[in-house]
A and B are shown apart, each in its own frame.
Chain A
């Protein structure tokens, strides 16, 4: 049994999510897919890359592509600041970095607490939204990182 999915007595797995902020919303991604969180360093642009690719960074000798998550999510871009972070994640496809406004905390949720709203994930462009969950007075948007990009886009990313 993994650390991130602890079976409860009722068979309702508890998952751990790393939460981050983008614009005014809080998002959660499976902690098991997070390798590390970095302060923003120099990102080298890659000419000809898709619009959601910010560029590449050198992570201890490995080249990692960084995705502009705001652009990918259709949100307005903003200046990076001291709170900005690059979250290094490992999807089923490859290791990439995602630029976020800030990283908040690790939370635990029961699987049953993730609610799939009526039209969530219908749009091709938003199929990476797994669902939403209530956290205190806030709403947590749970992201399926494996669906952050389409298969074709993941293949495209592998070329950088």
Chain B
């Protein structure tokens, strides 16, 4: 038997699992593909930059442009956190701050279902959202202890616990190819096997639904 022709089983399974997850999350097939590398936008630009580097975990050798947000064109730190047993990540550069969950949240009438309440933090009224409800995913905090404040610090999502802050290289993320199907889904951290959430979209959703 020629062992050289048999791919390593573990890697095949890993790639398969990754692809299944990505199929669900990134839904990339129908989106138009950018066929050239654009100039690198400034870091403060909202426009995503197409890059041609193959994302980690790619099972084929084709170099396909993917969309990488401007804040991720250089290595960036992410905060890993858990909501309802599920791990998520957000880029630290786009977080306003983190805080302990206040002992009491105030309930505004007729608020959206995802709104956990409002609290005064550092003399600001902060709207606190349940991440799962806000993003329309099946996860909810079990015992929310912390807040991740996004934008100008007047919007926040609750989480059960913080895990770590890690430095991520651009090619350690599987970026969506073409337009994002889920606007909040910036990409997938291939080493941590979790989704990278775009805090700008989270803030926008809290502000405007």
Q: Which residues of A are in contact with B by a Cβ distance under 8 Å? A: 22-25, 72-75, 115, 117-120, 122-123, 125-126, 129, 132, 134, 139, 141
Contact = CB atoms under 8 A, between A and B. Distances in A.
Given A74-B110, A117-B118, A123 B209 contact: yes
B106 A119 contact: no
22 contacts: A22-B109, A73-B109, A115-B125, A117-B118, A117-B126, A118-B127, A118-B155, A118-B207, A119-B115, A119-B155, A119-B206, A122-B207, A122-B209, A123-B110, A123-B112, A123-B209, A125-B110, A129-B108, A132-B125, A134-B120, A139-B120, A141-B108
Interface of B: 106-112, 115, 118, 120, 123-127, 154-155, 206-209
A24 B115 CA distance: 16
B125 A117 contact: yes
Contacts of B111: 123, 126
Contacts of B125: 115, 117-118, 132, 139
Given A132-B118, A132-B125, A119 B110 contact: no
A25 B110 CA distance: 13
A120 B110 CA distance: 10
Nearest to B126: A117
Contacts of B208: 119, 122
